[in-house]
Amino acid sequence: MDDMNGLKDMGVISPVQGWSADGVSTDTRKPVKGSLFFAIRGERFDGHDFTKDALAQGAAGIVIDKKSMARAAGFVKERPVFAVDDTVKSLGELAHIIRKRYRPVVIAITGSNGKTTTKDMLAGLLSGTYDTDKTQGNLNNLIGVPLSILNMKHGTKTWILELGTSRYGELARLTGITDPDIGILTNIGSAHLEFFHDLQGVAKAKSEMFSAMRDDGAAIVNADDPLAMGIAGKFKGRILTAGFSNDASLHILSYRLNSNGMEFDVSYKGAQHHLSMPLSGRHYLYDMSLAVLCSVYLGVSWNEIETACGQFNVFKGRGNIMQYENGITVVDDTYNANPDSMREGFLSAVERYGAGHIIAVIGDMLELGTHTAEQHHALGRFLAVHGICRFILVGASSEYTLQGILSAKAPGIHASRVAGINDAADELVKTGRSGDVIYVKGSRSMKMEQVISVYDSMLRKNHA
């Protein structure tokens, strides 16, 4: 990377001839050698406090804001220092410049649930036909998306970018930076209610992607989500849909669970196709069908799609299944959670294993704002009504989940609120029996995956 031209507010404090960088970094706790270090001010850290560390670790140059120019005194002269008005804005501008220079096919994915899974599925489907790169992890905000673009592998012709939002205007800015050729909307659900208040607010925020896209682009949308379809209906470009709806461009005809995951049949342009994947759950069908539809649209053959679907690697925390010698099954669905993904995940477990076998280990759902008590109460009642009767609850909002469980007045309920991760694991060791299915889920920052690791350690210690 040697093109800082185009940044509207850039000033160069210490220019260097023939300068270049291999990528971009914002965190000195990760490798920064050879990269351009952007000093970003966050809620907990100010990157300007780490610019000297970045240079000491071999950063090719640094970008600071003009308010911090005094801190540049004494910086080494063999590497450039760029001063800008806003380092976050400049990071996005530079990413947009790079996107325009290399002109890949850009696919942007947004939605309340399934963004990361759809992204990973799509990357697997496309990579056999196209040189493809994707957002690493869930770097989907105004810092993460530009970082993803600026660190894409050289020469890749297809970029799959995950776009998130937690405030109005953010998705419009991200769409402007990425300038997608294809926009995928997975669904509109009860995520980030703290910021958007209700589903209509979430829909308004998600609509920004299609509003900001070019008219010659394509929208790929969940056909069974009325709010998503309402948003797509206003898009002036091409609209493609996937789902169980008879009117969907890619129509899911049926699905069957099997020992390896599930098989499903789809219809596209009058032809039927049989597919399989190593995941089980109706909600995953939507993610995969959107990825399949995008792949077909880009010219991937059905033979390649059938092979890639069956070989999809299940990523940690998204429904991974572990079988223990004591006859207990653990399902790790700890990647993240909101009210919709909680219901879908547990319903899939009920469908596969039967409600009576499930021990639901539930961590709090975060970013629900004033809806926190209501949504946790509703979740507890919903799960109890659908036959789950054993619960281990973790977190400050678990009292509301418990109230919801008890309000269902279902027979045989056994629900425990525990103080933390270790207590949850201890309860599982004490109460679990052969044939049980321990299903663990909660918001990312609840770190519910630690329940599984502690449980695993306790079992190993007991059988040492």
pLDDT in the model for residue 5? 53
Which residues face 331 on adjacent strands?
321, 439
Q: For strand 271-277 and strand 261-268, is the pairing parallel, antiparallel, or unpaired? A: antiparallel
Query: First CA to last CA across the chain, in angstroms?
Result: 54
| Mean pLDDT across the chain | 90
pLDDT in the model for residue 463? 60
Size of the chain, expressed as the number of residues it contains:
464
Return the residue matching tokens 């507890």: 380
pLDDT in the model for residue 127? 94
CB 149 within 8 A of CB 178: yes
What's the order of all strands across the beta sheet hosting 437-441? Answer: 320-323, 329-332, 437-441, 358-363, 390-394, 414-418
% of the chain beyond a pLDDT of 70: 93
Return the residue matching tokens 């909600």: 283
pLDDT in the model for residue 214? 95
pLDDT in the model for residue 73? 60
Average pLDDT estimate for 420-442:
95
Read off the pTM: 0.85
Helix (H, G, I), strand (E, B), or coil: what is residue 396? coil
For residue 107, is pLDDT > 90?
Answer: yes
Q: Which of these ranges, 79-83, 177-181, 272-276, has the smallest mean pLDDT?
A: 79-83
Where residue 439 falls among pLDDT bands split at 50, 70, 90? very high
CB 182 within 8 A of CB 105: yes
Where residue 313 falls among pLDDT bands split at 50, 70, 90? confident
Which residues face 243 on adjacent strands?
251
Q: Where are the beta strands (DSSP E) in 366-457?
A: 390-394, 414-418, 437-441
For residue 314, is pLDDT > 80?
Answer: no
What lies within 8 Å, CB to CB, of 86 at 6+ separation is 9, 65
Cβ atoms < 10 Å from Cβ of 423: 16
Outline where 137-281 has alpha helix (H): 144-150, 170-178, 193-196, 199-212, 226-232
Measured between alpha carbons, how far is 362 from 227 in angstroms, rounded to an integer? 28
What are the tens digits of pLDDT across the range 271-291? 999 999 998 888 899 999 999
pLDDT in the model for residue 17? 64
pLDDT in the model for residue 336? 87
Measured between alpha carbons, how far is 366 from 338 in angstroms, rounded to an integer? 7
Measured between alpha carbons, how far is 250 from 170 in angstroms, rounded to an integer? 30
What are the tens digits of pLDDT across the range 357-394? 999 999 999 989 899 999 999 999 999 999 999 999 99
Which amino acid does the sequence have at 372? Answer: T
Q: Which domains does the chain have, with CATH numbers?
A: 11-87 (3.40.1390.10), 104-310 (3.40.1190.10), 320-462 (3.90.190.20)
